[in-house]
Structure 1
Amino acid sequence: MEGASEKAGDRSTNFVGHLAMICATGLGVGFFPFAPGTVGALWGLPLTWGLQHVLPAIQAVSIVAICLAGIPICTRAARYMGGLKDPGSIVLDEIASLPIVFFLIDMNNWRIAIAGFVLHRIFDITKPPPARQLERLPEGLGIMADDCAAAVYANLALRLVLWWNLI
């Protein structure tokens, strides 16, 4: 298994694996003893808020770049952590996917921010198809893809909530 050999590998491999683990766990918040995904997703709020203040095209490119960068980071971190399929302590997927929930939706209203956050967590936890199937993709791709799909669902659900004036 590559994960086991990576921990026992040379210093540069260990350093890169350790650095990937630090990033993928949201600077360690992924090790929170309960609901690490929810706690980790909170780190996505400042990122999302910051992206709200750039042009939509820049926002879209930034979201795609962050999510794509998360694939090798999560792959390396999961290997470093023993080759687990999708360790619960890896929360970069929650952090990176939260901006998708609010893409082209203004989250300056606290009710909208809370609703989007809760919808993201609901869809990430329940993983309606095809999110559940995307989770089966290999390594970091599977770790990131299911959360991105859940975030798209949350974005669409939030748009319906806003369209129906429910908040």
Structure 2
Amino acid sequence: MDSPVKKRISPLTAPAAWLATGLGVTARSPAPGTIGALWGVPIWAAIAQLPWHSAQLAAVGLLIVLGAPLCDRAARELVDLGLAADAKDPQAITWDEFTTVPLVYAFAPEAGLSVVWLVVGFAWHRVFDITKPWPCRPLERLPDGAGVMADDAMAALYAGLAYAGCWRLFGT
């Protein structure tokens, strides 16, 4: 049996995988979750320009909802390209990280784009994404792209609460 030839991810060969891996950046990166989560900072910077908090929440929600079918397709593309052994939440897919980081920041939009508060929110996101408190781990077991997105969305909710708490206690 021939082994699959590993191909490069591009918008032409695997458009969903290209998007879900941060334009291909996390396809072969060390620490793809952390690198992918970094993409969430400029995404929040763009979303934060929307004039109403409700519009910001809608934009974040849309990215998260679109993530389930996108990550499902991206996982299949990565398997087809020989870049993942199976389609169950390949590490290279980081759409779930970079679209849930803005959810954390949405808990305290008044923190703005202060570097200190961006770092605080990012750190909380990583803590909860890595530790996966209940019910994050069971949510990972949901089928296909829903499982890819649900655990990170739940972790982002925890991180958002911690971020908002820090902002309320220490924010200016």
Q: TM-score, normalised by structure 2?
A: 0.83
For 1:155, the aligned partner's letter is G
Tell me the matched-pair count.
154
Is the aligned partner of 1:162 residue 2:162? no
Shift in Å, 1:107: 3.4
Structure-2 separation of matches of 1:121 and 1:107: 20
Structure-2 separation of matches of 1:164 and 1:57: 24
User: Deviations 1:106-129 (Å, cap 9, x if unpaired)?
Assistant: 232211110100110110011100
User: Deviations 1:43-92 (Å, cap 9, x if unpaired)?
Assistant: 11111011112111111111111111111110001122224211000000
Worse-superposed segment, 37-46 or 75-84: 75-84
Is the aligned partner of 1:132 residue 2:128? no
For 1:72, the aligned partner's letter is P
Q: Which of residues 40, 45, 49 is equivalent to 1:49? A: 45
For 1:78, the aligned partner's letter is A
Is the aligned partner of 1:98 residue 2:95? no
For 2:46, the aligned partner's letter is G
Shift in Å, 1:17: 7.3
Check whether the contact 2:107–2:163 (CA below 8 A) recurs between aligned residues. no
Residues 166 and 50 of structure 1, relative CA distance in 2, 3 Å threshold: closer
Identity of aligned residues (%): 40
Q: Considering fraction of residues, name the structure with more helix.
A: 1
Instruction: State the SS of the aligned residue for 2:36.
Output: helix
Counterpart position of 1:10: none
Structure-2 separation of matches of 1:135 and 1:102: 23
For 1:58, the aligned partner's letter is A
Counterpart position of 2:8: none
Structure-2 separation of matches of 1:147 and 1:123: 8
Counterpart position of 2:124: 119
Instruction: State the SS of the aligned residue for 1:164.
Output: helix
Counterpart position of 1:36: 32
Structure-2 separation of matches of 1:90 and 1:39: 11
Structure-2 separation of matches of 1:134 and 1:107: 31
Q: TM-score, normalised by structure 1?
A: 0.85
Structure-2 separation of matches of 1:136 and 1:115: 29
Structure-2 separation of matches of 1:68 and 1:74: 11
